Copies of this chain bind each other. A is one copy, B any other.
Amino acid sequence: MDKIKVGIVGYGTIGKRVADAVRLQNDMKLVGVTAHSYNYKMTSAQVKKIPIYKMPEAEELNNLKLAGDLNDLLKNVDIIVDCTRKKIGAENKEKYYLPNKIKAIFEGGEKADLADCSFVAQCNYDEAVGKDYIRVVSCNTTGLCRTLNAIKSKYGIDAVHATMIRRGADPWDIRHGPINAIVPVLELPSHHGPDVQTVLNNMPIFTTALSVSSTLMHLHSVTVDCKETPNVDEVLKLFENTTRIRVVDNASKVRSTAEIMEFAKELGRNRCDMPEIVIWKEAIGVTGNKLLYMQAIHQESDVVCENIDAIRAAMGFENGKVSIKKTNEALKIDYCKECTVE
């Protein structure tokens, strides 16, 4: 079978990771990535021999060696993964993908109606099969969908309330704060609840959010009113047995987002990422019909595998479970999940 020819537009936090991930799939070929400006990410891409295509609006690219411009890239791909900043994806769809009849995957910064469906592989893969435009939801929404989907299937859900404690900026981002403050989102509910509903229809969820002075991961404190009474041990097993969720415990000293990131370094994965949603064993609680848990979200990487599955779905690959399995194996996801919970 021919490999799927993939192009990446936007080579930032997500784009560079999707590029790496595509290169690890045996049914895909990375045709190239786009250059918008000169920087260490582009020079490193060149070192890795990834073909680089110039965007029309690119700034000075200095001594980068170019494989062509965006049009050259568009001519040679089956599908584009658009990892540009918020709203640029919508512009690119109009300017490039629609006129050239090219399928595209968009990221969670874009509005839901830009795409034919929003997507989290383990929740609604089937819905996305054969679609031209698929939107991978944001890192936070992806995290909520993965765990809530599992809980719903086992206990049913009457209501969800979640507080999202968000990292203030990504690790490389030196411009944004806060340096010393807790910053609530002064809008209730935050946008995350409605966004979950683009994947899990009718999920009754209400979210509040705030930002803190950390760069590593988001953390969610979640309360679920279940239809049936949950049980802590059972929930623990449920999470352990659900793909792309990882349970850690205090005994293994993974007590914070910092230690999750350090643990990711031990596992030796690419860029020291932690694509699984991480849940603390000791922070799962039940009171009456209410289930409480805390989960950590690696904002830079949890959606990368979703993009890979979305590519397959868009190209008509019908078996979601097989896609997830292929992606997981290639990216070492669910790798050594057992090694930090006794």
Docked CA distance A177–B173 (Å): 8
> Among the listed stretches A136-144, A164-172, A194-202, which one makes contact with chain B, having 4 or more residues with CB under 8 Å of it?
A164-172
Docked CA distance A265–B184 (Å): 21
Docked CA distance A252–B177 (Å): 20
Question: In the complex where A221-B163, A268-B270 touch, is A181 in contact with B250 (Cβ < 8 A)?
Answer: no
Task: Choose from B165, B180, B280 the contact partner of A258 (Cβ within 8 Å).
Answer: B180
Docked CA distance A183–B253 (Å): 12
B340 to A184, Cβ gap below 8 A? no
> Among the listed stretches A71-79, A88-96, A212-220, which one makes contact with chain B, having 4 or more residues with CB under 8 Å of it?
A212-220
Docked CA distance A268–B20 (Å): 10
- Least distance between A17 CB and chain B CB atoms (Å): 10
A214 to B181, Cβ gap below 8 A? yes
Tell me which residues across on chain B come within 8 A of A265, comparing CB atoms. Answer: 271-272
A258 to B39, Cβ gap below 8 A? no
A148 on the interface (CB 8 Å rule)?
A: no
A38 to B258, Cβ gap below 8 A? no
B336 to A180, Cβ gap below 8 A? no
Interface residues of A in 299-342 (CB under 8 A from B): 336, 339-340, 342
Question: In the complex where A221-B163, A285-B206 touch, is A38 in contact with B251 (Cβ < 8 A)?
Answer: yes
Task: Choose from B40, B45, B223 the contact partner of A253 (Cβ within 8 Å).
Answer: B40
A298 on the interface (CB 8 Å rule)?
A: no
A206 to B175, Cβ gap below 8 A? no
Tell me which residues across on chain B come within 8 A of A268, comparing CB atoms. Answer: 48, 270-271
29 contacts between A and B (CB under 8 A): A38-B253, A39-B252, A40-B252, A40-B259, A40-B263, A43-B339, A44-B263, A62-B342, A167-B182, A171-B180, A171-B261, A174-B183, A174-B255, A175-B177, A175-B178, A176-B177, A177-B177, A178-B256, A179-B180, A179-B213, A181-B257, A182-B216, A184-B280, A185-B283, A186-B255, A208-B292, A212-B213, A265-B271, A268-B271
A46 on the interface (CB 8 Å rule)?
A: yes
Tell me which residues across on chain B come within 8 A of A296, comparing CB atoms. Answer: 182
Question: In the complex where A177-B176, A285-B189 touch, is A210 in contact with B221 (Cβ < 8 A)?
Answer: yes
- Least distance between A89 CB and chain B CB atoms (Å): 23
Tell me which residues across on chain B come within 8 A of A189, comparing CB atoms. Answer: 285, 287
**Of listed A44, A261, A272, residue having the most chain B CB within 10 A:** A44
Docked CA distance A178–B180 (Å): 10
A103 on the interface (CB 8 Å rule)?
A: no
The 7 tightest CB contacts between A and B, nearest first, are A181-B258, A188-B285, A44-B266, A172-B262, A39-B253, A186-B282, A163-B221
Chain B, Cβ-Cβ closest to A42: B252
Tell me which residues across on chain B come within 8 A of A248, comparing CB atoms. Answer: 40
Question: In the complex where A216-B181, A266-B40 touch, is A256 in contact with B339 (Cβ < 8 A)?
Answer: no
Docked CA distance A47–B342 (Å): 14
B252 to A215, Cβ gap below 8 A? no
A67 on the interface (CB 8 Å rule)?
A: no
Tell me which residues across on chain B come within 8 A of A46, comparing CB atoms. Answer: 339
